Amino acid sequence: MRSHGFKDDARVAAFYLARGADHDASAKCQRFRASYSFFPAGIRHDLYIIFKGYPAEVDYEKARGLFKGLSFKAIYTSDDSFDIGSYYIAAAQASHDYVCFLNTSSEIQSDGWLLKLVGNLELPGVGIVGASGSYEAPAPHPGWKASTFPNIHVRTNAFMMRRTEFLATQPDDFLADKIAVYQLEHGPNSLTRQMHRRGLQSLVVGRDGRGYSPAFWPISETFRQGNQRNLLVRDNQTETYRGASPALKQLLFASAWGKGQVMDELLLSGDIDACWKRKLKA
């Protein structure tokens, strides 16, 4: 099945990261496989499994066996470049127009999940889409520039970009530590901000298929909101929220969304950098 307006010669790749060093990696892979098999993607695509962090060949063999019966291409990476480092390696080995990345904890929640991501990325002026986003501004760490609230960023799980644009965001320095990884997700030079500086929008895509602009993320019923009923893809962070006490849920909601209101006209205009500058002066 093709999305409306999708070119016949265009191709989509979905990459799932099967990281052996993750806690309970086998169960996570099985949950992903079950959700991938249950929910049709809605669009023709190639599935890649990125096998990463297994101590020996026999462990790789067991991991590959978890996906027996699926049509997929295997990519093998070392465990020293974090999730997003493996995504860059994998994307460089593909030739598709669109690339979607899912981490080890991913569980698909909707029919047509990949079609919904593609359909929104194809909208004019869109540079990155994902199943969840956040305004959270993490506490500063030594040696890196902190971001201020609202720190608009698409979370780097179940996100999709054009392959050439994603590869162009790869930093010159090796992703040697978590700080470098955090910078790419929610730092001043995050994937989202790089797209915004090019005049391209970021959208969170819900189970309903709608692409929400950043102004409306706090009321999209996706990440850390209510019962997260509109989530397109679950992961470890969304499950932490789902199982939290009411008091902890309030704290998690506030860290992601503040008071949870739709943002002001600067966000509605799409001028994200201007919004940050205005907030800093306030």
Summary mean pLDDT of the chain: 87
CATH of residue 261's domain is 3.90.550
160-190 pLDDT per residue, tens: 999 999 999 998 776 666 667 777 888 888 9
Strands (DSSP E) found in 213-273: 233-234
Q: How many angstroms separate the Cα of 233 from the Cα of each of 86, 121, 157?
A: 20, 17, 9
Q: What is the pLDDT of residue 279?
A: 43
Give the position of tokens 């960023």: 153
Domain annotation covers residue 5: no
Lowest mean pLDDT among 47-51, 225-229, 270-274: 270-274
Q: Which of 39, 31, 50, 127 is nearest to 88 (CA)?
A: 50
At residue 260, the 3 state secondary structure works out as coil
Evaluate if residue 8 carries a pLDDT over 50.
no
Evaluate if residue 276 carries a pLDDT over 80.
no
Q: How many other CB atoms sit within 10 Å of the CB of residue 236?
A: 15
> What would the mean pLDDT of 199-220 be, rounded to a whole number?
96
- Cα separation, 11 vs 275, whole angstroms: 36
Evaluate if residue 146 carries a pLDDT over 60.
yes
Domain annotation covers residue 6: no
Residue 237 host element (H or E): helix 236-242
Domain annotation covers residue 7: no
17-64 pLDDT per residue, tens: 999 888 899 999 999 999 999 999 999 999 999 999 888 888 889 999
pLDDT winner (highest mean) among 8-12, 244-248, 276-280: 244-248
Domain annotation covers residue 194: yes
Domain annotation covers residue 183: yes
Give the position of tokens 């790869």: 170
Please give the tally of structural domains in the chain: 1
78-117 pLDDT per residue, tens: 887 778 899 999 999 999 999 999 999 999 999 999 999 9
**pTM of this structure:** 0.88
Domain membership of residue 135 as a residue range: 12-281
